[in-house]
Chains A and B, each alone.
Chain A
Amino acid sequence: MATGIKDKVAILSMGCSRFGERWDVGQEELMVEAYVEALSRAGIEPAAIGAAWYSSHYDDIGAGKAGTPMAQALRLPNIGVTRVENFCAGGTEAFRGAVYAVASGAVDIALAVGVEKLKDTGFAGLPLASRGTFGPMYLPTHSNPGNFAQLAAAYQARHNVGRADLKRAMAHTSVKSHANAVKNPNAHLRKAITIEQALNAPLVAEPIGLFDCCPVSDGAACAIVTTPKIARSLGRAPAVTVKAIQIVTSNGWEVQQAEWDGAHVHTARIAARAAYAEAGITDPARQISLTEVHDCFSITELVTLEDLGLTEPGTAWREMLDGRFDADGAMPCQIDGGLKCFGHPVGASGLRMLYEAWLQLTGAAGGRQLANPSLALTHNLGGAPSQNVCSVTILGAN
């Protein structure tokens, strides 16, 4: 009988590059930036790393396929590097690979790196992802804002929320993240905005406006994991352990059967339930100290807060307006600025969230440090609300 991952693996250290429009560097330099930070904080030699996982989504504008770009960039000691790609959940997928490798006893120390170099496309927004030969023959020519805008249309219909109210709640979501990111030196967008600016921004995909969208960022993040016992043997307290990692993937039900209401994310609810069970959490709204959710768009954050059971379905928009998820609210969300302002280098985002959770849980978050956090939740949503990969990870301070 599986017992889950709880407390079997500790985070030895983490690293994260500065996110943003990094015209100055390529994917290799971004990886080095995150890796060197993590390695120096861990106080280990590269030779101590037994295996590595590498997450990168776009291989045509990044460094290419397979594990070799990372092995070469980081000059790893001829260990196995496994490239994973799972849309926006790729960073968490890489982390899971490293964590499972350590938990299995196959290696003592494992490395996970996520990276994306997006600002080499020549245009704003994400490039089209390959969907094989058959999909594009019938699927709409879409964009990510368009995919998530549908969530807003369905949310309005399902919960009888007027467009103006939802737009205001979406605007508050972004204003809050902009305010948080001002205190984060690694963030892409470090400028406060007003509700009016958000509301009056040009439309991208009805009803999503420019300030409802996260930016397209270059960046990398990295984790080095080991067992609590080995951490102690290295003279390091296993300050943060993994309490749960769950990844749930759509099987086509949402997009092929008229049973899903389109106003929530089916996989997120399943992943949250499983993660809480794995971590032994019974009352997430009270027990979880901070959340880093996949706010690719403001509407995604609102719906996710409901899917994670942190607020009742149909109420997140009102709770957001009431300030519950602000930095000084009862449940701070996106304290580092989130995807919205820290930025969203696709393959790195899961690890970036874990980086912030780790900083907060170890009291190392500087000017944005929260008071005594004990449990941190990170969440990724890759793909579209109707067909996606969703991850929920919970880290805990010991």
Chain B
Amino acid sequence: MAVAAARAALRGQDAAAVHTLSFATTTAPFAEPQGAAFVHAALRLPETCLAQDVQGSPRATLIALHSALESGQTALIAAGDLPPGTPGSLAEARAGDGGAAALVGSGPGLLDYRGGISLSAPFTDRYRANGHDHPQEWEERWVREAGYLDLVPKAVAGALAKAGLSAADIDHFVLPCPIPGVAAAVAARAGLANARRAASLAETCGDTGTAHPLLMLAHALETVVPGQKILVAQFGQGATALIFEAGSVTMTPLVSPQLAQGIDEANYMKLLAFRGQIAWDRGLRGRFIVNEALSTAWRYSAALLGFVGGRCRETGRIQFPPTRLTVGDGLHLDTQEPWPLADVGGLVATFTADLLAFSPHPPNCYGLVDLNSGGRLLMEFTDPGAAEITPGKPVEFVFRIKDIDPQTGYRRYFWKAIATPVAS
């Protein structure tokens, strides 16, 4: 999700200029290695780009964003989170999975940074100890009264002072909080009662943890007009408040269309199965080794994570994966140059919906995809509508989990094909 959001943020931008990448999450797939390394590779950012994980709090995103804004360098903040909740808990009901990203740099943009502040405090509203899957939370009323209503208004005041603005100048107020009513109470306490409060999206996608401040901001931007002031805040072991002024650049709405195109899922067990929260029968056919082969994975990391194929300088043939001898007559040695495929799209040549092959979500759909740039490869298809991807249909490519080893927890990533949305 962080990769998908970052790809959207980088569209039409110069990825080679990105100096710093921060991957913000409270649910990193690995304790080691850092997830940012995979995000970095999937986005084909330059080797000199500093990549780091920021985590430990949903506020990690705004901490990274604040830091990036103050650094004056081109930075990408990619957030992706699967906020955990004990099955049946309120936390689970309020949470959603999501990804969001922001690209920070110089020059005219969507938003101009006016000033911000980050406050730190050992206020623990919830915790999840190492080795524990689910968070423990303290009473909401205390979190609201002693936490949000104390720390966030202080941060708002600090940010306003930095920006040289008064509370009345703020047109939009973005504050994620899974507890209903808190954002309104904070706005009233901070003098922002007249600012338009960004929708919490609680009813449509839930609180997406580290992704949520950027997700709510992106959603709010759909109605912002140039010159308006926006204050984005988040709480968590302190508070961060950042103030922006809407620039002249506008953005195609990203959030509303996705929410509108959502597909209802009534099968709650699917959530538990996908999250590994219930034991489920993989069958003997599903008992295969997911070989991490770390040396192989590194050797082919550009192909596997960046989806980089090869193009033969002499024949013009494009292929995946790249090889020393080009596909065809075997007469062209070491003639391939890297050829990124993630954005080229393709047409489906062959297809099946396989009920025998192991899949956590059968049938496993796959087939040959003819790349629009030339070349072809056998790919897995994924939802929405994987089973409707038949020969001749256009597809796009998304970065996905390839498989997870139930024994070691190791997960492999690769790219899958999805039906090109009709609108695009």
Q: What is A's interface to B at a CB cutoff of 8 Å? A: 121-123, 125, 127-128, 133-134, 136-143, 145-147, 149-151, 153-154, 157, 203-206, 208, 251-253, 255-258, 262, 386
Contact = CB atoms under 8 A, between A and B. Distances in A.
Given A123-B283, A146-B364, A258 B378 contact: no
B354 A145 contact: yes
Contacts of A133: 291, 293, 296
Given A128-B285, A143-B357, 18 more contacts: A123-B283, A134-B300, A137-B293, A137-B296, A137-B414, A141-B380, A142-B364, A146-B364, A150-B350, A150-B351, A150-B352, A151-B350, A153-B351, A157-B392, A205-B352, A205-B354, A252-B319, A258-B375
29 contacts: A123-B283, A127-B285, A134-B296, A134-B300, A136-B291, A137-B293, A137-B296, A138-B414, A140-B364, A141-B359, A141-B380, A142-B357, A143-B354, A143-B356, A143-B357, A146-B364, A149-B354, A153-B351, A153-B367, A154-B350, A154-B391, A204-B354, A205-B357, A206-B352, A206-B354, A208-B352, A251-B330, A255-B376, A258-B374
Given A134-B300, A251-B330, A256 B375 contact: yes
Contacts of B103: none
B161 to A, nearest CB: 52
Interface stretch (B200-208, B233-241, B320-328): B320-328
Interface string B327-367: 11010000000000000000001111111111100011011
A136 B317 CA distance: 24
Interface in B13-28: none
Nearest to A146: B354
B357 A146 contact: yes
A256 B300 contact: no
B10 to A, nearest CB: 23
A28 to B, nearest CB: 24
B295 to A, nearest CB: 8
Interface residues of B, number: 54
B349 A262 contact: yes
Contacts of A252: 319, 323, 327
B352 A149 contact: yes
A255 B327 CA distance: 10
A121 B390 CA distance: 33
Contact of A150 (B290, B319, B367, B377): B367
A252 B355 CA distance: 26
A255 B352 contact: no
Interface in B254-289: 283-285, 288
Interface in B370-397: 370-371, 374-380, 387, 390-392
Tell me which of B356, B368, B392 has the highest count of chain A C-beta atoms within 10 A of its own C-beta: B356
B169 interface: no
Contacts of A121: 284
Contact of B297 (A137, A139, A154): A137
Nearest to A385: B350
A149 B387 CA distance: 14
B355 A258 contact: no
Nearest to A156: B391
Contacts of B291: 133, 136
Nearest to B381: A140
A141 B358 contact: yes
Given A146-B352, A256-B319, A257-B327, A138 B284 contact: no
Top 9 A-B pairs, shortest CB-CB distance: A146-B354, A150-B350, A258-B370, A133-B293, A140-B366, A149-B352, A143-B357, A143-B356, A133-B296
Contacts of A153: 350-352, 367, 390-391
Contacts of A145: 352, 354, 356
A145 B353 CA distance: 10
A262 B369 CA distance: 11
B285 A123 contact: yes
B403 interface: yes
Contacts of B285: 123, 125, 127-128
Contact of B376 (A136, A204, A251, A257): A257
Contacts of A256: 319-320, 327, 375-377
Contacts of B378: 139-140, 255, 386
Nearest to B413: A137
Contacts of A128: 285, 288
A205 B364 CA distance: 9
B94 interface: no
B170 interface: no
B303 interface: yes
Nearest to B294: A133
B39 interface: no
A141 B392 contact: no
B288 to A, nearest CB: 5
Contacts of B300: 134, 137
B321 to A, nearest CB: 7
A379 B228 CA distance: 74
Contacts of A204: 354-356
Contacts of A143: 354, 356-357
